[in-house]
Amino acid sequence: MAITYFGKEVLTTLEEWTDPKHAAVVVVDVQNDFCSPGGHVHRRGQDVTPLQTMLGNLRRLLDGARQAGTRIIYIQHTVYRDGSTESPAYLAYRLKLHGGSYPELCIDGTWGHQICDEVAPQPGEIVVRKHRQPPWIGTDLDQLLRSNGIKTVIATGTMTSACVDWTARLGVQLDYYVVVPEDCVAQTDCVAHEAAIATLRRYLPDGGVTTTDELLRVWGIAVPAGAN
């Protein structure tokens, strides 16, 4: 139930936060290079099974969100082919992150850059292209959300301890309520995933880390597992 501090209404429950009138599902970097067999992550020898499992859960959530009338916004990590999106400082960071070699990852126009077919945007749904891990930097995401009266970000996608974590924690600092369905976020490193979820449980208000089933219950939507 909402409470009042300094004359301001503070929402305190999952039902209040995720009201379709003011909530949006933000789908972060669910792209072939991260999630699909044959994508960059898989080619580097990492097991994408956790990401593939997440896609099934996310599809259920998106189906439910559409039925409930909850806005959906996709985030698409994008690297320009000529490298003009990559500063020297950011290149140094990426080289460190990828073991000293530059990753051919999410290059604009490639198959790996595309959003996975399993959860592809439907006509009219917004796709925001980003060039850094946090989707708030150098994009119009914040303006799009505020312009449409969004109070709550439901953060989903990849990778839990990186881009999803940036989305969630910076979202709070930008004055959004944040909800993270833990079965709709994933990464190849399961230990890092679990550590990130534990951190988000400490960081977000009680109930901020939830599940697909719980969100569908709140919206009054029944989407069976395996539904298209």
> Domain for residue 212, yes or no?
yes
User: Per the residue annotation, which of 33, 130, 183, 184 is the catalytic one?
Assistant: 130
- To the query of whether residue 130 is one of the catalytic residues in this protein, the response is yes
Residue 1: band (very low, low, confident or very high) from pLDDT cuts 50, 70, 90: confident
Residue 94: band (very low, low, confident or very high) from pLDDT cuts 50, 70, 90: confident
User: Per the residue annotation, which of 151, 163, 183, 184 is the catalytic one?
Assistant: 163
Mean pLDDT of the chain: 95
Does the global pTM surpass 0.85?
A: yes
Rounded distance between C-alpha atoms, residue 19 and residue 204, angstroms? 18
Rounded distance between C-alpha atoms, residue 158 and residue 165, angstroms? 9
Please count the structural domains in the chain: 1
> Domain for residue 227, yes or no?
no
User: Per the residue annotation, which of 29, 33, 165, 183 is the catalytic one?
Assistant: 29
> Domain for residue 9, yes or no?
no
Domain extent, residue 34, equals 19-219
Q: Which CATH number goes with the domain that contains 154?
A: 3.40.50.850
Rounded distance between C-alpha atoms, residue 98 and residue 64, angstroms? 36
> Domain for residue 55, yes or no?
yes
Omega before 54 within 30 of 0, i.e. cis: no
- To the query of whether residue 151 is one of the catalytic residues in this protein, the response is no
> Domain for residue 177, yes or no?
yes
Give the number of other Cβ atoms within 10 Å of residue 94's Cβ.
Answer: 15
- To the query of whether residue 163 is one of the catalytic residues in this protein, the response is yes
> Domain for residue 10, yes or no?
no
> Domain for residue 228, yes or no?
no
Rounded distance between C-alpha atoms, residue 170 and residue 50, angstroms? 25
